[in-house]
Amino acid sequence: MDADITAVKKKSQVLLEKSWAKIESDFKPFNREVSVADNPISAFTYYLEMGKYPPPEIMVEVMDGFLEYFNSRGDKSLDEALLGTKHTKYGSLSYKQEYSLRFTEFEWFIYENEFTSIEKAAESYLASKVEEIDQDNFLTYYYAWKRKYKERS
């Protein structure tokens, strides 16, 4: 089975490269040699959000993940097949991305407005959200996210 998947991947890459040659000039200013994300799903999404077709290698990686998922006959989650990680809610890419984006958005909200305190900023920010979020919990998670962000920087 692995030999079949490898053959499909090689054939797909060759065919996609032919199509890519026709549109590559429209890809500027992007450089396909520069990684835009740490996994194929995020890279795929990034290019689409920018209105660009993903490079062939990204599309083949996504295809490979889906083939692995389908060939597992239910033994693997999409997270495991596409990202190589077992699915857990708090460890999943979608949760981590939403978690990080929420606090990045909050930081921009603070930057673009004037508040007398972080608590007032959180109150105003959370008032615009559809789901009900406890302000104290939100700020606790925000401070934890901020610490982790500073550690990575």
Q: How many CB atoms lie within 10 A of CB 65?
A: 22
Domain count, the chain: 2
Burial of 7 from C-beta contacts in 10 A (0-12 / 13-18 / 19+): exposed
pLDDT of residue 92: 65
107 and 136 assigned to the same domain: yes
Residue type, 40: P
Summarised one tens digit per residue, pLDDT across range 91-108 is 666 677 777 788 888 888
Q: Does residue 37 share a domain with residue 58?
A: yes
The residue with greater pLDDT, 27 or 69, is 69
Residue type, 121: A
Last residue of one domain, picked from the residues 56, 83, 110: 83
pLDDT of residue 117: 92
Please state whether the peptide bond connecting residue 29 to the residue before it is cis, i.e. omega within 30 degrees of 0.
Answer: yes
Q: Does 19 share its domain with 74?
A: yes
Highest mean pLDDT among 74-88, 97-111, 132-146: 132-146
Which pLDDT does position 1 carry in this prediction?
55
CB 94 within 8 A of CB 83: no
Measured between alpha carbons, how far is 45 from 32 in angstroms, rounded to an integer?
14
pLDDT at residue 120 in the model: 93
User: Do 93 and 71 fall into the same domain?
Assistant: no
Determine the Cα angle at 97 with ends 39 and 26, to 5°: 55
Give the tokens for residue 108. 């921009």
Q: What is the mean pLDDT of the chain?
A: 83
Q: Region 26-44: what's the mean pLDDT?
A: 80
Does residue 79 share a domain with residue 15?
Answer: yes
